[in-house]
Amino acid sequence: MVAGRTLTLPAFVATLVATWYGGILGVGEFAYSSGLATWTVFGLPYYLYAVVYALFLAHRVRGAARLTIPDTLQAAYGRPCALLGALFVFLLVTPAPYVLMLGTLFQGIFGGSVEWAVIIGALISVGFVVTGGFNTDVRTNIFQFVLMFAAFALILGFAVTRHGGFTFLAAQLPPDLKKPTGGLPPAYLLVWYFIALWTLVDPGFHQRCSAARDARTARRGILISVGCWAVFDFLTVTTGLYARALLPDLKQTINAYPALSEALLPPGAKGFFWVGMLATVMSTVLSYTFIAAITLGRDIVWRASPRHA
């Protein structure tokens, strides 16, 4: 469940960064339509609460003998509260949206029905941890971490080389997309600061802090991860802006990244970029499915059994 509580700092950062960034097609869609507001909405609020978690919660989670959030709830408030908390945890980590996104990517590569693409993508993603547990999850996340950064650096490099840098984007993009608000109303932006509060109860954060070698590793790992997310956000948002500048009439904006790769990359580079997108989504599907399985099997079924009582 927590890899023997032996995660080193590099492994901690790689698994946390890869797991927490699964909605890659949604990021591309939002960057295409709202520009720099993607950072304001999907970046800044989450950085803020991740830093709060690092400074005030990480050392407490690592210092506790309990392994899951329901364990802590039961110790403080009893079994009924723990079961209710486990239900909410299960809802938080249900990987359904990421599995659908993964199926969409598989369908884009291989064709066929989206239903079969979803099933095959999910089976491939979770097959790694059937016998290896969280330790296998971490090792896979490290590889996926490298792929996701390399893929978006690759496509952004092609875009800059062929069409120019920020001067090109400034000339091609609509004025609202160049504003931090993206032309969105303040109330819409503000609500994301409330949505991002779920970071403080994110089961993925809790599991990785529990698995860290010590409290210092957990705290430093989250702070370094915030920097990594900021770099990856720069790569993904800028790539989305190039998609808008080069493909202004795109009808299905959810396909901003795939469409840009078709228009910009040669076959080998395009294949590598698609692998990077798959890695970004699969890392989240893998980790969230594993946590969901622990929550269902251990924190709900086992905890609710008469034997546990």
Q: pLDDT tens digits for 91-121?
A: 999 888 888 888 888 888 888 888 898 888 8
CA distance 190 to 21: 21
Alpha carbon of 173 to those of 157, 177, 181, 234: distances in Å? 19, 7, 14, 17
Domains of the chain: 3-304 (1.20.1730.10)
Residue 126 · residue 289 · CB < 8 Å: yes
Contacts with 47 (C-beta within 8 Å, 6 or more apart), sequence order: 226, 229, 230
pLDDT, position 205: 96
Position 308 pLDDT exceeds 70: no
Min mean pLDDT across 19-23, 229-233, 263-267 is at: 19-23
Residue 32 · residue 250 · CB < 8 Å: yes
Q: Which residues pair with 212 in a beta bridge?
A: 7
pLDDT, position 23: 87
71 is written with which tokens?
A: 């364990």
- Quote the pTM value: 0.93
* Coil, strand or helix at 182: coil
Residue type, 295: T
Overall average pLDDT of the 12-36 stretch: 94
DSSP 226-252: HHHHHHHHHHHHHHHHHHHHH-TT-S-
End-to-end C-alpha distance for the chain, whole angstroms: 22
Overall average pLDDT of the 44-53 stretch: 97
Contacts with 262 (C-beta within 8 Å, 6 or more apart), sequence order: 270
pLDDT, position 303: 92
pLDDT, position 124: 81
Position 309 pLDDT exceeds 70: no
Residue 236 · residue 155 · CB < 8 Å: no
CA distance 197 to 194: 5
